[in-house]
Amino acid sequence: MNTGSYHQLEEIPLLGNLAVKQFSLDNGLRVAIVVDTTTPIFTYQTWFKVGSADEPAGRQGLAHLFEHMMFRKTSHYEMGEFERIVNNNGGTGINAYTSRDQTVYFFTFPNDKLEIATDLEADRMTNLLIDAEMFETEKGAVITEKNRGLDEPGRYLWEEVYKLAYTKHHYRYSTIGELQSIRNFTVEDARSFYKNYYSPNNALIIVAGDVEPEAVMKSIVEKYGSYEPSLPQARDVTDEPRQLDERASIVTHPKATSRMLVKLWHVPNILHPDYPALATVGRLLSSGKSAILHERILNKAKATEVFSDVYMSRDLGTFELFVQISARETFEGIETIFSEAIGELANGKISEEQVSIVKNNLQREVYQAATVPARLARLLGDSFIYTGDLSYQIKTIGEIEKVRTEDVQRVIKEYLLEGKSTTVKLLPEKEQ
Dist CA 115 CA 107 (whole Å) = 13
Domain residue extents for the chain: 6-224, 247-431
Which amino acid, 415? Answer: Y
Q: Is 216 exposed, middle or buried (0-12, 13-18, 19+ CB in 10 A)?
A: buried
Question: pLDDT of 287-315, one tens digit each?
Answer: 877 799 999 999 999 999 999 999 999 99
The pLDDT of 250-275, averaged and rounded, is 96
| Three-state SS at 102 | coil
**pLDDT tens for each residue of 160-169:** 999 999 999 9
What's the predicted TM-score (pTM) here?
0.94
| Cβ neighbours of residue 162 closer than 8 Å, sequence gap 6 or more | 171, 172, 173, 174
pLDDT at 432 over 80: no
The answer to whether the CB of 94 falls within 8 A of the CB of 149 is: no
Contact 255, 151 (CB under 8 A): yes
What is the Cα 147 distance to its own chain's centre? 22
Give CATH for domain 247-431: 3.30.830.10
Reduce the DSSP state of residue 432 to 3 states and report it: coil
* Dihedral pair phi/psi, residue 274, rounded to 5°: -85, -5
Segment 72-88, tens digit of pLDDT: 999 999 999 999 999 99
pLDDT by residue (tens digit) across 372-430?
Answer: 999 999 999 999 999 999 999 999 888 999 999 999 999 999 999 999 999 999 999 87
**Please, what is the Cα angle at 14 between 204 and 37, to 5 degrees?**
80
Per CATH, is 6-224 categorized as 3.30.70.3270? no
pLDDT tens across 212-262, in order? Answer: 999 999 999 999 999 999 999 899 899 999 999 999 999 999 999 999 999
Q: What's the pLDDT band for 2 if we cut at 50, 70, 90?
A: very low
In sequence order, what are the residues at sequence separation of 6 or more whose Cβ sits closer than 8 angstroms to the Cβ of residue 422?
Answer: 161, 164, 165, 243, 246, 247, 248, 263, 264, 265
Residue ranges in 110-246 assigned as alpha helix (H): 114-126, 132-150, 153-165, 179-184, 187-197, 213-224
Taking alpha carbons only, the member of 18, 358, 408, 24 closest to residue 221 is 24
Distance CA 198, CA 277 (A): 36
pLDDT score at 219: 97
User: In whole angstroms, what is the distance from residue 125 CA to residue 105 CA?
Assistant: 11
- Is pLDDT above 70 for 122? yes
Would 6-224 and 247-431 be classified into the same CATH topology? Answer: yes
